[in-house]
A and B are shown apart, each in its own frame.
Chain A
Amino acid sequence: MGTTDSFDVVVLGSGMGGMCSAARLAHAGFKTLLVERLAFIGGRSSSLDYKGYTKTTGAIIISANSVIEDTFRDVGAEFNVRSVGARWRVDGQDHDWQISEGLGRAMMAVTKDPDGTGRLLGAIMNAVTWQPPTGTMSLRRWVAQYTTDERVLQTFHPLVTALLCSTVDEVPVADVFAFIRNQFERPWDIALGPKGNIELFRPLLDTVKKNGGQIRRNAEVKRILICDNKVTGVILKTRSGEQQVNAKAIVSNLGPVATVELAGREHFDAAYLEALELVQPVPLYITLNITSDEPLLDHPALVFPVDARKISAFMDPTVSSPEMAPPGKHMLHVWGAMTQPIHGEINREHEIQATMDELKRLVPAVADKGTILSIECFDRDWPTFRCVSSELPHRSSVAELYNVGDGIRKPGYVGVALGAETARIVTQDIVSRVQPG
């Protein structure tokens, strides 16, 4: 064992939840260490330069008027995003869309059952303004009580696959309305970091350092140390050897499953371990980057194709942010999800081909003018979201061992917003329990 070091809090993993936690904790006066196993900071919320293009490592939409913007404001960091808006597309036509205004217009545009669809819209309004559905009923079963028009059900497809990373057959209708109600109360301003995520998040990382904290890359957590059911620190492996870092609290952005493995299952309560078994990562999610000499879309908005079967959403970030491509070049970013429940192995080649085929139908110019820059598959140990639906709280059953990120349950929050929201909750908890210094 090499040297020993001490911090108030060690944050494990520099994804969205880790970055937001570290910035908030350092700003609150805690001596904070943020450690990252990889050579780059940001996890699935980062960006890398690739052949002159700024390519995301996962998230691309970083919405304003959200808990993410709150994080920057709360720590006094500059939040530099560019609004792009959203549209829904059917039969090749794009229509401006605020997520908070719902899908009524899209449903009425596609339905062959206007009476049933009208009843469904009434039920949706009731669920948004009065009492949302509860329990575990799926969205498909809930919609079916009003209409069996498959095209109407499929209008939920982009919202459910792109934002909730589930399918209309599996997602609990309660989760859908938790998200919609959040949007109704505080609608996102759909936006992105014009120079890529890592440039956007740099002010948060600077906040950590300005307040006496440290950020270490290429530092792998080998063990979370526990004594008398309370965390005491971590063992880190760096290029210069192993080091023990003592801490009053540990915030893990590694996902609850990995956190338990690093600490040792024997330290955890049986009920917590049982809940852990229910954590199922989102199955294969594909992103394509298509380059071209001219923009393949004539607007910067995030497009949700409500008549798609494979593609969740697509956008050309270089329309609003030409900095993300070499001069005169453009890049279409496309998300392809699993749209049916998965049983058994996934055929990746088949799914990639299905995504490409549908993209050519939705954006015909791709076939003539587009060139594939990259195809990325998110699954298994590098998923889109760490869980479809978790019941795990932010506190583990070990004292002062907290989890943040997309493996934690907070109805109405998903993806990067969930990372930022869990960071806010955990920081608040630590401030109330742990004395800095």
Chain B
Amino acid sequence: MKVLAVTEKCVGCGYCETVCPTSAIIAEGTAKLTDPQCLAFTRPVAKSGKPSCLICVSFCPVPGALEVDYGHD
């Protein structure tokens, strides 16, 4: 399941990298997601189906720059 994506709206402010507990996002000019370590990918909340973390999204100042995709690949 793909749950998080960096979109072209990203301005590369780096706050997602600042708060990510597993260093799953690197932001140098623009953010890049390194999937395997992301808690949202590795430990989704099973009952609700929602990602378990996504603190990066709550810190992201640009709406739509980090998008959660609940669809299946």
A377–B12 contact, CB under 8 A?
yes
**What chain B residues lie within 8 Å of A380 (beta carbons)?**
9, 11, 62
Residues of B within 8 A of A39 (CB): 19, 55, 58-59
Given A48-B19, A55-B18, A374-B14, is A381 in contact with B63 using a C-beta cutoff of 8 Å? yes
Do B18 and A48 touch across chains, with their CB atoms under 8 A apart?
A: yes
Q: A39-B59, A50-B14, A372-B28 given. 6 additional CB < 8 A pairs?
A: A48-B15, A48-B59, A55-B18, A348-B12, A375-B12, A380-B11
How many whole Å from A370's CB to the nearest CB in chain B?
15
The binding surface of chain B is classed by DSSP as loop
What 0/1 readout, one digit per residue, does chain A (20-56) give for beta carbons within 8 Å of chain B?
A: 0000000000000000001110010000111000010
B1-58 residues at the A interface, CB under 8 angstroms: 9, 11-15, 17-19, 27-30, 55, 58
The 4 closest A-B pairs by CB, nearest first: A39-B58, A377-B12, A381-B62, A50-B18
A38 and B61 within 8 A (CB): yes
State whether A378 touches B14 (Cβ < 8 A): no
Determine if B62 and A376 form an interchain contact, defined as CB atoms under 8 angstroms apart. Answer: no
Chain B residues with Cβ under 8 A from A100's Cβ?
A: none
Q: Can you pick out 27 interface pairs between chain A and chain B where the beta carbons lie within 8 Å of each other?
A: A38-B59, A39-B19, A39-B55, A39-B58, A40-B15, A40-B59, A48-B19, A49-B18, A50-B14, A50-B17, A57-B13, A348-B12, A348-B29, A348-B30, A352-B29, A374-B27, A375-B27, A376-B13, A376-B14, A377-B11, A377-B13, A377-B29, A377-B30, A379-B11, A380-B9, A380-B62, A382-B62
How far is A49 from B59 in the complex, measured between Cα atoms in Å? 13
Report the count of interface residues on A (CB-CB < 8 A).
23
Nearest A residue to B56 via CB reads A39
Question: Using Cβ atoms and an 8 Å threshold, which residues of chain A touch B9?
Answer: 380-381
A22 to B60 alpha-carbon distance, docked (Å): 23
Q: Which residues of A lie under 8 Å from residue B29 when comparing CB positions?
A: 348-349, 352, 375, 377
Kindly list chain B residues whose C-beta atoms are within 8 Å of the C-beta of A40. Answer: 15, 59
Bound together, the chains give a CA A380 to CA B12 distance in angstroms of: 11
Q: How far apart sit A48 and B18, CA to CA, in the bound complex (Å)?
A: 7
Q: Is A214 an interface residue (CB 8 A)?
A: no
By CB atoms of chain B within 10 A, which of A39, A378, A380 has the most? A39
Contact status A375-B11, CB under 8 Å: no
Set of chain A residues within 8 Å of B18, measured between Cβ atoms: 48-50, 55
Nearest CB to that of B62 among chain A residues? A381
CA distance A48 to B16 in the complex (A): 11
- By beta carbon, the residue of chain A nearest B55 is A39
Taking the closest CB of chain B, its distance from the CB of A426, in whole angstroms, is 23
**B28 (CB) vs chain A CBs: closest residue:** A375
CB distance from A312 to the nearest CB of B (A): 18
Residues of B within 8 A of A (CB): 9, 11-15, 17-19, 27-30, 55, 58-63, 65
Q: Which B residues are CB-close (under 8 A) to A349?
A: 29
Query: By the criterion CB–CB under 8 Å, are A375 and B61 in contact?
Result: no
* Assembly CA distance A57 to B62 (angstroms): 13
User: Is A243 close to B, CB under 8 A?
Assistant: no
A83 to chain B, nearest CB (A): 28
Residues of A within 8 A of B12 (CB): 348, 375-377
Contact at A378–B11, with CB atoms within 8 Å? yes
Check if A381 sits within 8 Å of B59, measured CB to CB. no
Contact B58 A375 (CB under 8 A): no
CA–CA, A378 to B10, complex, Å?
10
Once the chains bind, are A382 and B14 in contact (CB under 8 Å)?
no
By a CB distance below 8 angstroms, the chain A residues around B61 are 38, 43, 381-382
Known: A48-B19, A55-B18. A382 touches B13 (CB 8 A): yes
A368-394 vs B, CB cutoff 8 Å, 1 = contact: the mask equals: 000010111111111000000000000
**Is A218 among interface residues, defined by CB-CB distance under 8 A?**
yes
Tell me, rounded to whole Å, the shortest Cβ–Cβ distance linking A410 to chain B.
Answer: 24
In Å, the complex CA distance between A76 and B9 comes to 41
Within 8 Å CB of B14, what residues of A?
50, 374-376
- In the complex, A40 Cα to B63 Cα: how many Å? 15
- Contact B11–A382 (Cβ < 8 Å): yes
A377 to chain B, nearest CB (A): 4
How far in angstroms is the closest Cβ of chain B from A373? 10
Contacting residues, chain B, for A378 (C-beta < 8 A) = 11, 13
CB of B57, distance to nearest CB on chain A (Å): 9
Closest to B19 in A: A48
